[in-house]
Each structure stands twice: as C-alpha cells, then as structure tokens.
Amino acid sequence: MEYRRLGKSGLPVSALSFGSWVTFSTQMGVEQALETMTAAYDAGVNFFDNAEVYALGQSETIMGQALQKAGWPRDSYIVSSKVMWGSVDNPKPTQRGLHRKHVFDACHDALRRLQVEYLDLYFCHRPDINVPMEEVVRMMTELIHQGKVLYWGTSQWSAQQLSEAYGVARQYQLIPPTMEQPQYSMFHREKVEAEFAPLYDTIGLGTTTFSPLYFGILTGKYNDGIPADSRASLPGYEWVRENVESERGQQQIAKVRQLMPIAEGLGATMSQLAIAWCLRNPRVSTVILGASRVSQVHENLKALDVLPQLTDDVMTAIEDVLGNKPPQPEAY
C-alpha cells in the first residue's frame, strides 16, 4: 500500500480507502461489513469513511459494530463522519445543518454509533448558507480542542467557500479545514483539476476523492444494459439509472468501450484503470472505494499495480478518448 500525506498535515492516509456510502445497510450487514473492511485493512487500507446521513445513521452503526468485532488497535486506522443532512427522516431545523447545535449533537451521535472516542476526520458534508462561516469554523475548532475530532474538512464545497473558511480561521486564530472530499473520476474532473488548483499550494488542501468509477459507468458493467444486481437497480438510486440511460450516459458508455482495450493492454480491468488514473494525480490524497464483496476489494486494490504502468504515452491515449481535460486557471 502507498501512503500519502493528507494535504499539508502530517497524517499518512492510504492511497486507497474504504467507504460505506451505498453498501452498508442497503446491501450489507455487520458480518459482510467486517469481511470487506478486514480485507481492506489487511491490504494496508487505513481510512474508513462514513457520514451521519448514510442509511440515516445505520451505516455508522454497522461500521462501529464491525470495528468492535475486528478489535484493531485504535491508533492503526482512521475513521470519519460527515455532518449536514441529519440522521432521521424529515429532520427538524435543529436536526440538520451546520449550526453549532447540530454539529455538536451530530458529532456525539457519530462517536456513539461508531463506538470510538474521537473522529480522525470530520467533514461538513455540504456548505450551509444559513450559518455564518465563523460559526462553522469556530465549532469545528472547538471539537478539535475538546479532543473529539483531529482534523476537520469539507465535502462538495466550492473553492470560494474553502477560501472563506480559511480566511475566517486566520482572522480569528481558529483551525482551518485540512481536506475536501470532492467527486473525481475520468468523467468528473473540473473541481479537482481546475477549480481547486490554486488551493493546493496556497492553503495546503488535501483531497479524499469519491466515486472514481462514476457510479459504476467506468466499470464497464453498463456497456450492455443495467444488471439486476447493480446500484442502478437499488431503491433510492433511480437517479443512477436515469444517468446511465440518458444521452450523456450513453456517450460516456461509448467512451468506456474505447478505453477497455487500453485497460486490457495493461492487463487490467476497466475498474482498475479508472482508479489508477485518479491516483496518477498527485493532488489526490486518497481515493475512496466502495465494495459489497471481498472479491471487489481485492480487485479494486490491484489498481495500485496498474499505477506504475500509466506512462505519459498511456495517459495521452486515455486523454485522446476522454477529450474532457478542463482548462487550467490563468496565471496573472
């Protein structure tokens, strides 16, 4: 396993990490979660990602029970949660958002469900325009000072919002965000490669990217239709099916068909190529993977073997197929 620093922090995070977004509760119980997490941990994965809203708290409960059964030393792994949407159906105003009360309550709920004494990483799952930025940064700083959180970050924030949070932290001598969790894949590149470009060096932003397989399209499994056991067939994920069946989705599938010979030429699966491509970007601290079976964990982790094969010539061949490289910000 390769380990990378999380932004400018000294925290070493495994280049590939394990997330529970879709699978825990909807596809997996505690025993399956334990099996897949153990397969990842034994291969060197040290970061396990979660959120209050995933299965309305059940995902964290399952992961917490799996961690207890695994019995790993607490100092050997990193666990996260995210706050914003709440963990109940139809949350009341005080049960969601980034105001001090919900962030405080949600942190304690996450600690209880995950059965840990502190969160290594705590993300603001989306920006909250109804809460002053100073309140958000101050509350996250207080949680760190209380020893309940080690590093705080954001997910799906804009570069402007991150810059504002950083500025507030510096103005009031608070702790700025360390990392952002954006979507990143061959088909979703703008934010990581262009919008955030000025932030990596100026504020030392780390990234814990998700959806490297673009909701399954980059696996190639939708090349001939929608399999019955795929995410696009799950209740609540009708939007994935709509995306696959859309004109844009069909254009992306056509590109996947063109990419598959490149993967085959490297002795890799399409999934492994897509994951390794994300890792080729040095601004990526870690790529979060999901898996519902141990075999998927093992297959996806082999992307690390593909990474050294992604020479400049191979990357050019991939770029020729994708044709979507975002323009870089102009330097003045």
C-beta of residue 276 within 8 angstroms of C-beta of residue 303: yes
Per-chain mean pLDDT for the chain? 95
- Count of C-beta atoms within a 10 Å radius of residue 24: 27
Does residue 54 have an active-site annotation? Answer: yes
- For residue 212, what pLDDT is reported? 97
Q: How confident is the model at residue 103 (pLDDT cuts 50, 70, 90)?
A: very high
For residues 163-169, give the mean pLDDT.
Answer: 98
Q: How many CA atoms lie within 13 A of 253 on its CB side?
A: 19
Bridge-based pairing of strands 12-14 and 3-5 is: antiparallel
pLDDT digits (tens, 9 = 90+) for 40-80: 999 999 999 999 999 999 999 999 999 999 999 999 999 99
Q: What is the pLDDT of residue 187?
A: 97
Q: Write the pLDDT tens digit of every residue in 124-136.
A: 999 999 999 999 9
| Domain spanning 3-218+274-322, CATH class | alpha beta
Decide if pLDDT at 243 tops 70.
yes
Say what the pLDDT of residue 233 is.
Answer: 67
**pLDDT for the residue 79:** 98
- What was the pLDDT predicted at 235? 75
Q: Quick one: pLDDT at residue 26?
A: 73
pLDDT at 9 over 80: yes
Higher pLDDT, 320 or 22: 320
Paired with 121 in beta bridges are: 80, 151
Please indicate whether residue 231 or residue 137 has the higher confidence score (pLDDT): 137
Q: Report residue 121's pLDDT band, with 50, 70 and 90 as the boundaries.
A: very high
332: pLDDT strictly greater than 90? no
As a whole number of angstroms, the distance between CA 157 and CA 233 comes to 29
Residue 4 clears pLDDT 90, i.e. is over it:
yes
Q: What is the pLDDT at residue 238?
A: 81
pLDDT exceeds 80 at position 242: yes
In the chain, the DSSP E strands lie at 3-5, 12-14, 16-19, 47-49, 78-83, 119-124, 149-155, 179-181, 206-209, 286-289
pLDDT at 225 (0 to 100) = 80
Among 41, 54, 122, 222, which one carries the catalytic annotation? 54
Q: Is the predicted pLDDT of residue 286 greater than 70, yes or no?
A: yes
Which has more pLDDT, 221 or 16?
16
Q: Model confidence over 195-241: pLDDT tens digits? A: 999 999 999 999 999 999 998 999 998 888 877 777 666 777 787 88
Residue 74 in contact with residue 16, Cβ under 8 Å? no
- Of residues 89 and 240, the one with the higher pLDDT is 89
Q: Would you say 317 and 181 are in contact if contact means Cβ atoms under 8 Å apart?
A: no
Whether 257 shows a pLDDT value over 70: the answer reads yes
The pTM score is: 0.94
Query: How far is Cα of residue 311 from the mean position of the Cα atoms in its chain?
Result: 25
| pLDDT value for 228 | 73
